[in-house]
Structure 1
Amino acid sequence: MKIPKLISFKKIEKFITMKFKLFLSLFLCLVFSTAFAQHKKFKFIDELCEYEGTYDSKKYTEQQLKDTYNLYYGESWLLSAADYRHRSKPTEQVLTELKTEYQTKRAKLKGFQLVKNPVFISFRDSLVLSMDQEYLAKSALVKALKDPKALLEYKAPDSCAINYTKPLVEGGEALLKAYEVLTKYQMKNNGDPQRLYDKYLSNIQSSQKYEAAFNEVIIYGWWNCVNHFIPRPTYDARFSENYHKLFIKVDTLDCDEP
């Protein structure tokens, strides 16, 4: 009867070492491949350059990056439907278009999947507040083209109400006086004051002087005053800086000449 040879300790040690190295290699490959899979690319642009950012997909989704980007760099959030500089459309049609634009843009803003960051959230809140106020003001403006008393529906700041809302609603000589005061104010801040004054004289000497005065005062007086007091979000470097920080690294692909 043969006695089996005993495996030496060195062979056992070598076998275990090989197995461990194989396991370690497989483990490291898995770790690196998983980490690599988490890193994704996202392209975006600002006023001057195009970038490609590398981000951790475990922290943010591509949709979050897109929506956060579009919040700041995307479409204009101003309401353009109310073309108050002429009366080419019926009042009700303009009001309907304005309401549709307002509701669509507001819903889009509120539906954005933003990266959870106070700067981004605060910016959206400011945009929504601004849009709400702009909608109310422009609605009153459009209605006032047909019925000046509609301006009373909007709670304008005192300076706007006294200088413009009151004479626009009263009409007559009060309106003409407001037009005169407005023209003199505009002349102080205009590169061609004589042109403004000539236009003023032409308007008040025409048979349609009250209509002309109303159009000038409601646009360049009332609207400019009210618009000045509508709270607007601040466009500054904070948003861009915080957005760039979302990425592990950001490569500049191309830039326009400044």
Structure 2
Amino acid sequence: MRKITLIIIISFFVLCCVDKEKNAENKIVSFKKSDTITVNSNTTAVFKWTTDLCENIGTYNPKKYSEEELKNTYDLWFTFSGIALETNSNAHYVEDIEKLNIYKLMSEYMEKKSLYNRKIVATSFWNKIKAEKLQELEDEYQLRKITIEAYSNPLVLLNNKYTEYCSEYANVLSGNDTIQLLKSWYKLIEQEKSKNGSPEKFMERFHEKYYSKDRLIYAKIELMTYGWWNCGNSKIKRVNNDGTLEREFNRLFIDVKTECDEP
């Protein structure tokens, strides 16, 4: 009887010890899980980008925005800076007119516009910049489209958002008065000559065109390019790239390290 009682007591003691060891293991596992969560909450990520002469590495909080959002915001600031469209809309020589392609322009416009559907860092500042960039793209597309169309149908110059600012060129280019056309051309040439580094050679090129059989075509080409186009282009509101965009982009990061080459 004593042996049986002793065996029961020993068995109970062993079971108690095993349970305590299991509980201790569970506490250790639980502690390790908690420690991992703490580490994850402090995790940062890095994003790399380039500017004209510099390589940049920024540390950021991935809970605030993703790498894709940063990439798209960088493109909005840096990659898409400068002119919005590259399809040529002006001719410099008679043979260039037939090379102007409105369908190529439309295709580029749709492609560029689709880029603005990408998700960016959604702060009020960057949303505003995105809207302004889209408007800039739209305005430049309309001006290029009108300019290309005007080579075959100059009446399109008379009824668009640029007409009131550039009416001098719109009227003479859409009219049939060749004398007024030549006078406007000469007036424009005199204005351009004053800004040219070699005015004598500039006037030589003008006289070659003026006394050629295609002088009326050259008059229209130069009034379109240096008159109408330059006037309309000056009315497009461009997003100011005075360094503000770069500073705002850098503010998205906890820390930024920059290495630059000598200019």
TM-score tier after normalising by the smaller chain length: 0.7 to 0.9
Query: Which residue pairs with 1:94 in the alignment?
Result: 101
Per-residue displacement from partner, 1:102-144 (whole Å, max 9, x unpaired)? 11111211x1211122322222111111111111111111111
Does the 8 Å contact 2:60/2:252 carry over to 1?
yes
1-structure distance, mates of 2:245, 2:65: 17
Does the 8 Å contact 1:82/1:97 carry over to 2?
no
2-structure distance, mates of 1:193, 1:60: 55
Partner of 1:60, secondary structure, is coil
Cα pair distance change 1:83/1:190, threshold 3 Å: same
Quote the offset at 1:189 in angstroms: 1.4
Per-residue displacement from partner, 1:83-109 (whole Å, max 9, x unpaired)? 422555757x71111111111111211
Query: Which residue pairs with 2:6 in the alignment?
Result: none
Matches within 5 A, 1:57-206: 57-75=62-80, 78-85=84-91, 87-88=95-96, 90=98, 94-109=101-116, 111-162=117-168, 164-171=169-176, 172-206=178-212
2-structure distance, mates of 1:90, 1:187: 28
Q: Across the two proteins, how many residue pairs are aligned to each other?
A: 239
Amino acid at match of 1:156: Y
Does the 8 Å contact 2:89/2:144 carry over to 1?
no
Quote the offset at 1:210 in angstroms: 0.5
Does the 8 Å contact 1:140/1:153 carry over to 2?
no
1:46 equivalent to 2:81? Answer no
2-structure distance, mates of 1:150, 1:131: 20
Partner of 1:158, secondary structure, is coil
Partner of 2:257, secondary structure, is strand
1-structure distance, mates of 2:38, 2:98: 65
| Bigger Cα Rg | 2
* Structure 1 residue runs of 4 or more that deviate by more than 4 Å after TM superposition: 21-25, 86-91
Does the 8 Å contact 1:187/1:193 carry over to 2?
yes
1-structure distance, mates of 2:233, 2:89: 15
Matches within 5 A, 1:27-38: 29-36=35-42, 38=43
TM-score relative to the length of structure 1 = 0.82
Cα pair distance change 1:255/1:246, threshold 3 Å: same
Q: Calculate the aligned-residue CA RMSD, in Å.
A: 2.6
Does the 8 Å contact 1:68/1:112 carry over to 2?
no
Does the 8 Å contact 1:82/1:95 carry over to 2?
no
> Which consecutive unaligned segments of at least 5 residues does structure 1 have?
5-17
1:212 equivalent to 2:227? Answer no
Quote the offset at 1:202 in angstroms: 2.2
Quote the offset at 1:170 in angstroms: 1.4
Query: Which residue pairs with 2:247 in the alignment?
Result: 241
Quote the offset at 1:33 in angstroms: 2.2
Quote the offset at 1:70 in angstroms: 0.7
Does the 8 Å contact 2:90/2:224 carry over to 1?
no
Report the more deviating stretch, 74-83 or 137-146.
74-83
What percentage of aligned pairs have identical amino acids?
A: 27
2-structure distance, mates of 1:116, 1:168: 45
> Which consecutive unaligned segments of at least 5 residues does structure 2 have?
3-8, 10-23
Per-residue displacement from partner, 1:154-174 (whole Å, max 9, x unpaired)? 332534112x11111114111
Amino acid at match of 1:256: D
Quote the offset at 1:191 in angstroms: 1.0
Does the 8 Å contact 2:209/2:215 carry over to 1?
yes
